[in-house]
Structure 1
């Protein structure tokens, strides 16, 4: 029997942790912010001025972004004498609605009001899993396991006596783009003594640092750079790469599934996982992966491709249900996959399915999984995350509903992720 646990972090009594905290708070009539399809959500909005006094008889606009018929609507409201107003919303199908007060100037920021969901546990991907998805990736895995790791392992000075670290480069099918990162573990580690963990990272171009603190907690850990970038360059180097060679890298290679840049990113992460498992310090039976955003997507892929992964932490994972925009959803990576743009066509959607997190999630049969969705996320729509979460067949999975958060994972959620992995390490024989 499948066991699904939903954690609720934060309360819809303001927008804690966001720019507009306390200024334009919206309070849905359900503290969970989760409703039945067709049910009407009543959101109480209170407005104060800069001095904290109620804004009486004030007209303002609330805009909604979300799934289905609610998408991009605007509502004209007016406060009463106490500065209060009410917004009522509903959805006729599973999905999410994000409400905000639009920015007043081009350089301003939208002010969040509330985020609500309607039976998100029923969300399904817009497109079916490719019939040859498993065969396609099983063939890739066979080729990767036939390729020698040919790893270059170089000690680095940690400035500490309790942990050791190494800069590592691992061969991939592309000789110009090895898997790069840092390995670290306690200095006194003996063979087969340590649990192992792969760290994956979010979008952007940057250098990865040795994961010394994770290693100090008694772990064999590898931090993999998503882009095969060197770790010794100045900030200007990474900025230039982001603006030029890797500009909108999420779309590179479309519409050819074999040339997708993100496909090769997944392959690099898998090679890093292979290297991690080859280390003599690994105890052979405790293996975890974790990441946020793009890193959460990579974590789902690793857990889906390698059944020896026993724990997967994927916070606000991107690149799932990437065709969601084709059926009116808010979408994942919606900055790139937006209806009306040249990239939003059927050929591209069909190719991207081969790296879509939903279909990797459907391969996670036994790993214990912790996933988060943020109700104010304007980067990765929570509906896309729930599509991936709902696809996980593992009997032990948990969802954190960060009802007051945007795309940045809150500290409390990050802490839950660390506790989740530590609990897995402690309980697994």
Structure 2
């Protein structure tokens, strides 16, 4: 199919989904009640869940596997719900995230006996409708340490890149953009950066004055940015900059960007796709600092997934300028984890290639974290396999200043189980509403 026909077909699918209602909720045959409501335990404490049938009657037999950091198998077993409930328990003798996969392996006969394996399984709580369930817990998570030290030249590498970029004029080019949101002025921007150009939208209240600034970084993929959402945020009082992750116009859905961009240059820090991405983010901050309508005090960074990754990196790359960093399930952390008994996630760099693993350390948020001076809020999905929670805790534990972990006990990545992760965008909105009016973000610590 041509690209136009593909887009048309996708549009029909989307229209059909709204015309006939949203897809039915994925049914769950199992309910899990954690021993600790906040999902957090101490080393050598019993970590556990009570498992009961429902909300719909179980039709499968289930087995379970407990893994430390979703990598090292600690325990295995089968569920027996004949008495109306069962339990899964484990202890960990070290700080870690516990991931339990509960998988169907057979159908049940009417009397409860196991039958043949069906062609497919349905249901589950991980957003995939394949019968898989997962639960997660944290064991002394504030003590989870580095899996791999930063490269010896990490600091000098990035200082040299920032110094080289500083010699390039920003050369901002603004193109006005019409918006239906009242009381807002908006433009597309293009900025010169080292090796590429930075693009995005900038919007502000349509009145004289100086405003607190909000920079939003984008999640993974190649797509057009949501211009209306930018305008709506500006309408609430922010000088808002929404940054495209790629060297393309923010209105362009593709920009000829390779779909496998995250793998480009992954064996050489000088060639990594993330090098120019991070430098573009820094260049947008350079531009913001020149604007006379910035209030000169407040700069908040925010983003989810790869946008959270970029947020944490920029907060560490330019620590003296950032007030707060608000991230939901940030990606990219603990990239060398697979070499040390931790399952990593996006960008999914191959751990069997030593050059890739060396290069990854120059772009891992973990290694920017010690430089962060801003106050940080981070949403952590306890069963997230795209932004694994052990890596996010590792980042937070390297940040010397105040931070607020936000455990999302039942949440896989937010594109799979968005409803279960809603506490993070809600907390982000709450904090943005506080700070736009001059309030101070004081972290709550670990929230139940």
TM over 0.5: yes
Q: How many residues align?
A: 389
Considering only aligned residues, what root-mean-square deviation do their CA atoms show, in Å?
2.5
- Report the 3-state secondary structure (helix = DSSP H, G, I; strand = E; otherwise coil) of the residue aligned with 2:427: helix
| TM superposition shift of 1:402 | 0.8
TM-score by length of 2: 0.81
Cα pair distance change 1:283/1:33, threshold 3 Å: same
RCO higher in structure (CA 8 A, sep ≥6): 1
| Contact residue 181 and residue 231 of structure 2 kept, 8 A | no
| Structure 1 residue 147: Cα displacement | 1.1
Q: What's the CA shift string for 1:362-416, capped at 9, x where partnerless?
A: 1013x1111111102121110000000100011x211101112121162332121
- Kept in 2: contact 1:290–1:299 (CA 8 A): yes
* Superposition pairs of residues 20-419 of structure 1, within 5 angstroms: 22-48=28-54, 52-53=56-57, 55=58, 59-67=61-69, 70-71=72-73, 74-82=76-84, 84-102=85-103, 105=120, 108-174=129-195, 177-190=196-209, 193-210=210-227, 211-233=230-252, 237=254, 241=257, 245-247=258-260, 249-306=261-318, 307-333=320-346, 336-337=348-349, 341=350, 343-365=351-373, 367-394=374-401, 396-408=402-414, 410-419=421-430
DSSP-derived class of the 2:37 partner: coil
Which structure 1 residue ranges, 5 or more long, are not aligned?
1-17
Deviations 1:98-145 (A, max 9, x none): 223336738852532421111111111211122221221112111222
After superposing the two structures, state which structure 1 stretch, 402-411 or 278-287, moved more: 402-411
Q: Please say which of residues 214-223 and 133-142 is displaced more in the overlay.
A: 133-142
Structure 2 Cα separation of the partners of residues 332 and 189 of structure 1 = 45
- Structure 1 Cα separation of the partners of residues 223 and 290 of structure 2: 27
Contact persistence 2:225–2:251 (CA under 8 A): no
Q: Distance in 2 between matches of 1:69 and 1:259?
A: 30
- Structure 2 unpaired stretches of 5+: 1-23, 106-119, 122-127, 442-448
Question: Which residue is 1:9 aligned to?
Answer: none
Contact 1:313 1:371 in 2 (8 A): yes
> Following the alignment from structure 1 to structure 2, what is the Cα–Cα distance between the partners of residues 144 and 128?
27
Q: Is the 8 A contact 1:68 1:91 kept in 2?
A: no
- Answer yes or no: is the 8 Å Cα contact 1:66–1:330 preserved in 2: no
Cα distance 1:219–1:69, how it changes in 2: closer, same or farther (>3 A)?
closer
Q: Secondary structure at the match of 2:270?
A: helix
Preserved CA contact (<8 Å) 1:320 1:384? yes
Aligned-partner SS, 2:331: coil
Residue deviations 1:142-166 (CA, integer Å, cap 9, x gap): 1222211111100011134400100
Change (3 A) 1:72 1:275: farther
